[in-house]
């Protein structure tokens, strides 16, 4: 996975120590209600689309950018689905990060789903009842999105507020 320049610069002074980072993800739906997924090149697993905002970039703009960069799909962020502090991750190079994920429900508005960068091995649309094997991270978010547009934002430890 490419490392943003600002993070590379930060790692030059912080080394492998734990970094608290913003993260964004999205459950992207098309007009038929299918979910956009990418099979990640770093893990080989299918997941929803996500990434790291650039310094000063608004979270909704970041996820719209990430979805396009990874899948060539244009989308509109419609709702904050959930906000969750994730567990720390240690990468193969020893870097440790902990992400505060802001997950959106987004609607596809154009483009054709395809691998658009080196972060994905495959990209595709999936029916909600025919999803590939997913980690809890993605499955939880897809289930929350399926609960309906009128549902309030979900917060870890508080449930629905």
Residue 120 contacts residue 44 (beta carbons within 8 Å) = no
pTM: 0.88
Can you tell me the distance from the alpha carbon of 160 to that of 153, in angstroms, rounded to the nearest whole number? 6
Sign of the dihedral defined by the CA atoms of residues 106, 111, 117, 120, in that order: positive
Structure confidence at residue 161 (pLDDT): 44
Write out residues in the chain with pLDDT < 50, as ranges: 161
């Amino acid at each position: 996975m490419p490392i943003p320049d600002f993070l590379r610069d930060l790692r030059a002074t912080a080394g492998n120590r734990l970094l608290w980072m913003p993260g964004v993800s999205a459950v992207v739906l098309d007009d038929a209600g299918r979910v956009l997924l990418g099979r990640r090149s770093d893990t080989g697993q299918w997941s929803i689309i996500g990434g790291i905002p650039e310094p000063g970039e608004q979270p909704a703009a970041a996820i719209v950018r990430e979805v396009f960069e990874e899948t060539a799909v244009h989308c509109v962020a419609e709702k904050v689905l959930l906000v969750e502090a994730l567990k720390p991750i240690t990468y193969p190079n020893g870097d440790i990060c902990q992400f505060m994920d802001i997950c959106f429900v987004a609607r596809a508005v154009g483009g054709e789903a395809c691998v658009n960068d080196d972060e994905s091995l495959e990209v595709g649309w999936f029916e909600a009842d025919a999803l590939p094997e997913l980690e809890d991270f993605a499955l939880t978010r897809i289930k929350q999105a399926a609960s309906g547009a009128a549902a309030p934002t979900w917060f870890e430890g508080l449930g629905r507020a």
